[in-house]
Amino acid sequence: MKSTPAAFSAWTACILAGFVPAAWAQGYPVKPIRVVVPYAPGGATDLTARLVGQKMQAALKQNVIVDNRPGAGGVIGADIVAKSPPDGYTVLIGVPAEMAILPHLQKLPYSVARDFAPVSLAAVTPLILVVHPSLPVRTVKELVAFVRARPGQLSYASAGTGGVQHLAAELLKITAKIDMTHVPYKGAGPVMPDLIGGHIPLFFSGMPPAMPHVKAGKLRPLAVTTLKRSPAAPDVPTMVEAGVPGFDISNWFAYFVPAGTPAEIVTRLNTEIVRGLGFPDVKEKLASVGAETVGTTPEELATFVRSETDKFAKLIKASGAKGTD
């Protein structure tokens, strides 16, 4: 049987297609890696990306650039990564909002299951309910009584519609039967100046952006949102201890790449991210602001995200949270 030039070309193309991912992986990385943070600078997601990025840069011998792309509750940044080439040079550090909550609240331009490949869970942190010191409350019970006497008059901030901060406040509203007004921001970073300045009185904040201001006396902590107290704020009670039964919400930060990224590149990224999270200075810096470093396999992250997605779906149904206010 004779081989035609066309057949030979097709066969060659198939063989080369099989070797391209391997070749990419062997030389990876040959240019800077962009880590997209779908929120403004200054929040916990941004801090995690920068700390780990410094360690990745040293190990990979390439620049690791943190690219803040805030907007739409994290959707803008996530969509950028979902539509990027699957070559390992565009990485997302995602949080519950765009990866586990918003899929239940609105139509998204991407599918978490179809468009992303998991790399590693980076860190987990409670939220901390903080108020401006001018608000005349020192406990959650006092806050509930204060709001109940002024229905709809008190505003609360979130890092974006559909995020854990939004959902935590909505859960408090439905549980305590109180009415507050939602003011979404483009990330936790922009919330802090307004909160410290007294322009917005209340925020379920991530621990990292809030704790320096709590320690400085610029914000008053009322409770943390997990079932256990945080080592970074051992004197702050949990929401359950403060009188809100069954309240348990945490924030987390995890790395994803576009679906179709070669497995060898995912493995390399996972190795360097987990290694970066293990450095004592990274662990200590994140622990000092209430975040616990984790580091997982891609498979463990996939299982975790599925579990969180199911949990938040139930919370959304129970709380009555909406995607838009």
Q: What is the CATH number of the domain that holds 158?
A: 3.40.190.10
Judge whether 253 and 44 are in contact, CB under 8 Å.
yes
Does residue 263 belong to any structural domain of this protein? yes
DSSP state, residue 238 = B
Does residue 45 belong to any structural domain of this protein? yes
Do 44 and 103 belong together in one domain?
yes
Do 310 and 273 belong together in one domain?
yes
Identify the bridge partners of residue 224 per DSSP, sorted by sequence position.
128, 238
Number of separate domains in the chain: 2
Do 219 and 256 belong together in one domain?
no
Does residue 6 belong to any structural domain of this protein? no
Residue 152 to residue 168: CA distance in whole angstroms: 17
Whole-number CA gyration radius for the chain = 22
Number of Cβ within a 10 Å radius of residue 288: 15
Does residue 154 belong to any structural domain of this protein? yes
Judge whether 178 and 171 are in contact, CB under 8 Å.
no
Judge whether 85 and 258 are in contact, CB under 8 Å.
yes
What pLDDT sits at residue 18? 44
- For 213, residues 6+ apart whose C-beta sits below 8 A from its C-beta are 130, 192, 195, 196, 219
pLDDT band at residue 10, thresholds of 50, 70 and 90? very low
Number of Cβ within a 10 Å radius of residue 2: 4
pLDDT band at residue 44, thresholds of 50, 70 and 90? confident
Does residue 23 belong to any structural domain of this protein? no
The 10s digit of each residue's pLDDT in 132-183 is 999 999 999 999 999 999 999 999 999 888 888 999 998 899 889 999 999 9
Dihedral sign of CA atoms 15, 21, 26, 28 in order:
positive
Do 109 and 139 belong together in one domain?
no
pTM (2 decimals)? 0.79
Do 137 and 109 belong together in one domain?
no
Residue 262 to residue 265: CA distance in whole angstroms: 5
Do 100 and 162 belong together in one domain?
no
Residue 5 to residue 9: CA distance in whole angstroms: 6
What pLDDT sits at residue 19? 46
Entry field: residues in the chain: 325
List the CATH number of the domain containing 315: 3.40.190.150
- The domain of 195 spans 126-224
| Mean pLDDT of the 65-87 span | 96
Do 267 and 198 belong together in one domain?
no
Does residue 255 belong to any structural domain of this protein? yes
Top mean-pLDDT range of 7-16, 225-234, 269-278, 311-320? 269-278
Does residue 8 belong to any structural domain of this protein? no
- For 71, residues 6+ apart whose C-beta sits below 8 A from its C-beta are 38, 77, 186
User: Phi-psi region for residue 72, left (φ > 0), alpha (ψ -120 to 50) or beta?
Assistant: left
Judge whether 157 and 196 are in contact, CB under 8 Å.
no
Does residue 54 belong to any structural domain of this protein? yes
What pLDDT sits at residue 149? 97
The H or E element containing residue 15 is helix 5-27
Q: What are phi and psi of 116, to 5 degrees?
A: -130, 150
Between 12 and 232, residue with greater pLDDT: 232
Number of Cβ within a 10 Å radius of residue 268: 18
